[in-house]
Amino acid sequence: MRKLLMGSAAVIGGGLGVGVTTGAAEAADGIKLEVGGFFRSAYQVVFDDDGENEAGNEHNTDGFFQDAEIHFTGSTVLDNGLEVGARVELEGEDDDDQIDESWIYFSGGFGEFRIGSLDDALGDLCVFAPGGTANFSAFSPNQWGANTLTTNSICFGVDDVGDSQKIVYFSPVFSGFQIGLSYVPSSDKETHVDGVGPHVGMPVNDDGASRHNVSVYGLYNYEAEDWYIQLGAGGSWEGHVEKQPGPNREQQEFYQTGILVGFGAFSVGASFNYFNDDDLLVTTLANRDVVVDRWVLGVGATYTMDALVFGLGYSINDADVDNKGSPDSDFKLQRAAFTVNYTVGPGIDVDGEIAYTRQDVSGPDFDDSDDNYDAFELGIGTAITF
């Protein structure tokens, strides 16, 4: 019977059911470092609208792509039952952000606290629709071959930098229920360069950046003898947006919900994200003095047959661009994907995709080259976990 996708707090925290007593605390052993991570690689071929003045023009037809991280983790349990640990995720290739996430945690009967550079509560516990693999999917894929303005990503909060410095709390699991809470003082501050390492003075409030952001997410898991269900819902809110020269943007509010049901060899589910006053799509537009409300829906299913998992997914990204009195614009991005994953051995997978993507736009905020765009893509990849 396939196990439910539990919240990461329940996985890494491990000691949520352990009580905490008062008094001095000592560890039987010090923190011992362990190394893990993943390496994903893919080859994709895209056949799209690539003529003159079309979205695929001057883009290559195929390519090799990779994504890798090395994870350093360590923990110990004190004699009072408190578990203390740390995790650092090193990118496997040069990146603008060489360290992905890094945080410490304290776990016990009270739940778990994490402090550092990591996702907010919504991004950590978000219920995700099935149908994808480590590399490919109809929604939030690791590799997206179509030359579109954006993707149909479906599980993230309002922070300017997803792994900005924050504190996150995960409650213990009570009768299948768990809640996550997070708070970030400055959502664009992640590294020493941003002013959140050893420092003198407080971080600068940059134009257009948000601060005092909060996120809340609730998760429910139930597993019977031959079926299971997972439900989730929550939101992410900007507390304040720093004024900037020219038009100021509105404070963003993102809401997400999802459901996952499994029975026998089948799993089906759906995820929905609503983005109120979304600034993500605005950054792709020449005119920034607009208001965008957007939603993304993803539905999918999988069928498992021994070492093979077949997946099917569909997503739609729909946005209304309000030009504040001028003619409005519309954006719609749809994607369907068939995926297959084969487990070669423990931690070693081979996956593939056949996907179709269509982008339709209208109004003064988009170029004609982005309208009626079609892309058909094929991909094959590997995913190694260690």
Residue 386 to residue 377: CA distance in whole angstroms: 29
Instruction: Quote the pLDDT of residue 290.
Output: 82
Domain covering 8-21+38-385: architecture: Beta Barrel (2.40)
The Cα angle at residue 194 between residues 192 and 195, in degrees rounded to 5: 65
The domain spans of the chain are 8-21+38-385
Instruction: Quote the pLDDT of residue 3.
Output: 37
Percentage, residues of the chain above pLDDT 70: 91
Residue 119 to residue 37: CA distance in whole angstroms: 17
Residue pair 6/222 in contact by the 8 Å Cβ criterion: no
pLDDT per residue as tens digits for the range 30-65: 788 899 999 999 999 999 999 998 999 999 999 999
**pLDDT band, residue 26 (cuts 50/70/90):** low
Burial of 34 (0-12, 13-18, 19+ CB in 10 A): exposed
User: Cα–Cα distances in Å, from 290 out to 127, 166, 187, 286, 319?
Assistant: 30, 29, 22, 10, 12
**Within 13 Å, how many C-alpha atoms sit on residue 129's CB side?**
28
pLDDT per residue as tens digits for the range 198-249: 989 999 999 888 999 999 999 999 999 999 999 999 999 999 998 888 777 8
Of 25-39, 53-67, 78-92, 297-311, which one has max mean pLDDT?
Answer: 297-311
Overall average pLDDT of the 253-273 stretch: 97
Overall average pLDDT of the 293-299 stretch: 95
Residue pair 74/33 in contact by the 8 Å Cβ criterion: yes
Residue pair 188/161 in contact by the 8 Å Cβ criterion: yes
Instruction: Quote the pLDDT of residue 7.
Output: 39
Q: pTM of the predicted model, to two decimals?
A: 0.89
Distance between start and end Cα atoms, the chain:
24
Residue 302 to residue 268: CA distance in whole angstroms: 7
Percentage, residues of the chain above pLDDT 90: 67
Q: Is 194 helix (H, G, I), strand (E, B) or coil?
A: helix
Overall average pLDDT of the 154-181 stretch: 94
Instruction: Quote the pLDDT of residue 281.
Output: 80
